[in-house]
Amino acid sequence: MITMLDVAARAGVSKATVSRVLNGTGQVRKTTRDAVFNAMKELGYRPNFLAQSLANNRSNSIGLVVSNFDGPYFGRLLRRAATLIEASGKHLIVTNGYDTPERELEAVRLLADRRCDAILLYTRFMSEDTLMTLLAELPLMVINRYLPRAPERCVYFEQQQAAFSVVDYLIQQGHQQVACITGPINTPTAQARLAGYRQALQQQRLLVTDAQVIAGDNSVAGGYLACQHLLSRGVAFTALFASNDDMAIGAMQALRQAGKQLPEQVSVFGFDDEPCAAYLQPPLSTVYLPIDAMIEAAIMQAFRLIKGEVLPPLPAFIGELKLRSSVAAGPYRDNPLQSL
């Protein structure tokens, strides 16, 4: 391995000078700088990243923890994060938090151990207390969670609000019997979406029975099975709100197989606006989440954190309803309850 010492010898200077040239620090005469660059090139020198990081106690990289590389939109999130971070001259390294609070914590430690300049943590399961502790000791931004005690350190979507809007819209369209397939109920996202569903119905004094709600696992197959269960329970519904598009896709197939006309007999609403949603038959109404904007805000805030700047408050990120033909007018179309 070619070290700085080799370069120094070749260029006839000391290590210190090579270091200065490498980092552009201090004053170096042009001729010696050229000599050093030449020596580097001739020897094919590559700085030892670990030694640099050890000496600096920084690694010029941003760490990102994701939840088991699944979830509806982590692809978009990773792509966007990578581009933004690379453009800033830093490197992105990604690691897995799997699906338990312990392993999420391990993942954060892994990145902290590598002296990431900042860490972006998409967390599902970590407790608020643990998060607050981490925030106090690490340059960390939390994604997908709202921490009332540290609002400037987290970005998240107004999931409940969006789900509320969905169901309220269905009610306006004349639906009063709205079923719901939730995501895994131990995740904050699924809970918030379910809460929005409940809120909308309760606000109109419509009954929410347990039979109308069933838990899915966010997968297409899970949505299919959940919908079959729902149907076999014999609960009547003219509209179905699925907590994500994948489950909506599975549910639509189950409905078709049960002989339901879509959307005439059952309207369906999804969540996440997956790329295929608009191309399904019928095109699926859903909620678009501004992932790019959210992750961008998180990264910008992380950079401020690194620089020690004061942290401005973050905007709220709200979903946008994409209305497509999977929703038809319901039986109360001529006399719908009005939005409050």
Q: Where on the chain is the footprint of a copy of itself (CB under 8 A)? A: 46, 48-51, 53-54, 59, 68-70, 74-75, 78-79, 82, 86, 91-96, 98, 109-110, 113-115, 219-221, 224, 246, 249-250, 252-253, 256, 275-276, 278-281
Residues 110, 114, 116, 121, Cα dihedral to 10°: -10
Tokens matching residue 291:
């992932």
Residue 126, interface with DNA (CB under 7 A)? no
Q: Least distance (Å) from a copy of itself to the CB of residue 32?
A: 26
Tokens matching residue 163:
């789900």
Any alpha helices (H) in the chain, and if so which ranges?
4-11, 15-23, 30-43, 49-56, 74-87, 101-113, 128-137, 159-172, 188-203, 220-233, 245-257, 291-307
Tokens matching residue 279:
């191309």
Residue 12, interface with DNA (CB under 7 A)? yes
Tokens matching residue 45:
């020198």
Considering only residues 178 through 207, tell me which ones interact with DNA, judged by CB under 7 A.
none
Residue 56, interface with DNA (CB under 7 A)? yes
C-alpha closest to that of 153 among 292, 314, 317, 319: 314
Q: Least distance (Å) from a copy of itself to the CB of residue 287?
A: 18
Q: Least distance (Å) from a copy of itself to the CB of residue 248?
A: 10
Q: Least distance (Å) from DNA to the CB of residue 39?
A: 12
* Cα separation values, 335 from 171, 172, 199, 340, Å: 10, 9, 21, 15
Q: Least distance (Å) from DNA to the CB of residue 271?
A: 46
Of the pair 30, 205, the CB lying nearest DNA is at 30
**Chain contacts with DNA (rule: CB under 7 A):** 1, 3-5, 12-17, 19-20, 22-23, 25-29, 31-33, 45-48, 51-52, 54-57
